[in-house]
Amino acid sequence: MIKLQGLTRKFNGLVAVDGLTFEVGEGEIFGLLGPNGAGKTTTVRMLCCLIKPTGGKAFVGGYEVGKDALRVREIVGLLPEAPGLYGELSAYRNLEFYAKLYGVPKRRREENIERFLKMLGLWGRRDDPVATFSRGMQQKLAIVRAMVHEPKVLFLDEPTAALAPESAKTVRDFILELKQERRTIFLCTHNLHEAERLCDRVAITNSKLIAIGSPSELEQKFGPSRTEIRLERVSRKIVDAVRRLKHVKGVEVVGDKLMVEVEDPEAANPVIVEAVVKHGGRVRYVARAVHALEETYLRLVRESEA
């Protein structure tokens, strides 16, 4: 559904997006992750035909970005960084205005506005001026605006920013429901826990592509190998003994557990357990520690900036 081939964008000689190449499948929730200034928003703006690439190509729904700009705009919806709504108009009038711009027939327009406002908990405020809405409510309304013409591809730039936890959950549930309709969702976010919960695959970028894959694939491939050892009691003697072992790169104490970073778990774990028992430790269990996408992300970004 989305294909990037060496996509590049420069601003006065500064390379904001540097040769991105990857694909996003139909019905996939795809996350674009990276630090501030990594080119995420610039990438989305190019894919939505708001700015032109300075190098490479991209295709959305089979249409080429730049050459087929009007066709691309017909099939995409965009939640930008700022909602950009008309404050003096009601929520309903805002959505009606944008639906008319997209040529949505009257009956379909009314059905879509009602459906999406109810899904995001805004139907009861449909006749109120948007200027009276909180920042979070405006964010949710902007998401409805992006969906009112039922696009095949939805671009969301920080969709849960400024939302309270319960509203953020409503938005996440909304995104997952859209996926059931085989819509392709391209998500830019700094919320790595959210990306881990929602995304089928993610790309980590810092102007250039660093890594791409499902969250679990990236964690297994790039995350540190750690062994979790739960003891009846952790002592200083045990910790010091484990730290001195050849294959151990680091030890962290978390309550009654040792989190031991190792290069080769299969070779190191028997030696670690032997050392723990030798120094008076009673082992309750040993397991491979599960690390979050956040830990993998931070490690890859740090290495890209080194």
One-letter amino acid at 64 equals E
**What is the predicted pLDDT for the residue at 19?**
96
pLDDT of residue 290: 63
Domain 2-220: state its class. Answer: alpha beta
| Spatial separation of the C-alpha atoms in residues 23 and 213, rounded to whole Å | 11
- The residue type found at 41 is T
Tell me the torsion sign for CA atoms 256, 257, 258, 259. Answer: negative
Whether the CB-CB separation of 159 and 139 falls below 8 Å is answered with yes
Q: What are the residue ranges of CATH 3.40.50.300 in the chain?
A: 2-220
Report the candidate in 17, 187, 264 with the shortest Cα–Cα distance to residue 4.
17
pLDDT score recorded for residue 304: 85
Question: What's the length of the chain?
Answer: 306
The model carries a pTM of: 0.82
Reference 111, options 101, 99, 94; nearest CA is 99
* CATH number assigned to the domain with residue range 224-290, chosen from the 4 options 3.40.1380.20, 3.30.70.100, 3.30.1540.10, 3.40.50.2020: 3.30.70.100
Low-confidence stretches of the chain (pLDDT < 70) are 223-224, 290-292, 306
Show the CA angle centred on residue 231, arms to residues 230 and 232, nearest 5°: 135
- Could you report the per-residue pLDDT of 156-187, keeping only the tens digit for each? 999 998 788 988 999 999 999 998 998 999 99
Q: Interior CA angle at 107 toward 124 and 110, to 5°?
A: 15
Give ranges for CATH 3.30.70.100 in the chain. 224-290
User: What is the reported pLDDT for 224?
Assistant: 65
